[in-house]
Amino acid sequence: MVPAVVVVWDKRMEISNKKNLANIFSDIIEFDVPLSKLSQWKVGGVADVIIRPTSKAELIAVQQWLHANQLPSLIIGNTTNLLFSDEGLHTAVIQMASNFSNVKIEDAKIIAESGVWVPSLATMAMRANLSGLEHTCGIPGTLGGLIVMNGGSQRQSIGRVVSYVETVDYEGHIHHYSNEECRFAYRHSIFQHRKEVIIEVGLVLDKETDKSDIQKKMIEILSARRKKFPRKQPSCGSVFVSNPDMYDSYGPPGQIIESLGFKGMCRGDAQVSHRHTNFIVNNGQATSEDILFLINIIKKSVYNKTGYQMAVEAKLITPYGEIKSI
């Protein structure tokens, strides 16, 4: 996700700000939203304001208004890798999800808005005989979030097929980044350090004569995920990033965590999954604090055992919209 513009939400201005926002952006705004309804982990307090633009023009107008009024903002997608505070969010939240998800396919090129659901995009590519997104077919998130994290699976990354990324900054200016300018590295991109909203992504894939091989590979990936990953309980997906060096010496994060006896460990209603120990699931009423407790005790134990400090895929969102590594 994109680092938030951190400006303290002045409580004396809160009522008038809400009225102004409601008047200007009435069709795309919602107030006092329980974050547990948005969060993939089903945790978090109440968000003061959620804005869901449906076009580039609306997004630019929102950014310009927030900037002119010096109000804080936070950009989210489908919240797959976000852990919201139990205290809620006292900042304007701009959500780029299904409201911002148009896709165009021309030959081997795809132009997609950032809110498109990644598995849906992979399916569209397959139906157009385009190869290169198969590894993303089971990743539960939006394209914008995938770009920010340079995400992927099967030890692959989305950055390999990106031709350009278009963003809007906090003042409403549009920026265009080539693949090289995105500075893609393993689970990293320049957008982790930019106060900009990803709005559009250009992809260049491989054109195949027959989609059957693409489809077969996607079915294999999805089948493997269904067998080993918990699907019924809320989670953020994989909690810890797979470190290639640690992988070579000790195996993937889940294997190490299980070897240390954490499978099934609970704190409140948060639990290290019995099905895959790199997942922390919510059994009903888990809190952000419960999840953080499990993450931190696992990190400490793995470091003591291996000497490797495991990075956490999820980011902690503070009540005023700061994005912090866990």
**Angle 60-63-67 from CA coordinates, rounded to 5°:** 140
Same domain, 110 and 92: no
Query: By C-alpha distance, which of 144, 33, 32, 51 is closest to 92?
Result: 51
Q: Are 153 and 83 contained in the same domain?
A: no
Write the DSSP assignment of 47-85 as a string of letters.
EEEEE---SHHHHHHHHHHHHHTT--EEEESS-TTEEE-
Instruction: Out of 58, 79, 96, pick the residue that ends a domain.
Output: 96
The shares of helix, strand and coil residues in the chain, as percent rounded to the nearest 5, are: 35, 25, 40
pTM of the shown model: 0.83
Give the SS3 label for residue 317: strand
Kindly report, residue by residue over 196-253, the tens digit of the pLDDT: 999 999 999 999 888 999 999 999 999 888 877 887 889 988 899 888 889 999 999 9
Q: Which of 235, 238, 273, 288 is catalytic?
A: 238
Q: Are 134 and 48 in a shared domain?
A: no
**Which of 168, 192, 213 marks a domain boundary?**
213
Place of tokens 């559009």: 200
Measured CA to CA, the distance from residue 59 to residue 76 in angstroms comes to: 13
Look up the CATH number of the domain holding residue 86: 3.30.43.10
In a domain, 223, yes or no: no
* Of 161, 121, 159, 162, nearest in space to 138 by CA: 121
- Residue 68 and residue 171 in one domain: no
Tokens 């500075």 identify what position? 183
Domain assignment of residue 262, yes or no? yes
| CATH code for the domain of 301 | 3.90.78.10
| φ, ψ for residue 53, nearest 5 deg | -65, 150
- Structural domain for 133, as ranges: 99-213
Percentage of the chain beyond pLDDT 90 is 65
pLDDT in tens, 2-48: 333 333 444 444 655 677 777 778 888 998 999 999 999 999 999 98
Q: Which of 41, 63, 96 is the last residue of a domain?
A: 96
238 is catalytic: yes
DSSP assignments along 161-186, one per residue: GEEEEEEEETTS-EEEEETGGGT-BT
**Whole-number pLDDT of residue 15:** 54
Same domain, 131 and 196: yes
Asked if 247 and 181 sit in the same domain, the reply is no
CATH number for 134: 3.30.465.10
313 is catalytic: yes
Burial of 200 (0-12, 13-18, 19+ CB in 10 A): buried
Which candidate in 114, 134, 187, 267 is catalytic?
A: 187
DSSP code of residue 294: H
Beta-bridge mates of residue 317: 84, 323
Task: Classify residue 292: in a domain, yes or no.
Answer: yes
Residue that the structure tokens 């076009």 belong to: 55
Is 317 among the domain residues?
Answer: no
What is the domain count for the chain?
A: 3
228 assigned to some structural domain = no
Active site residue 85: no
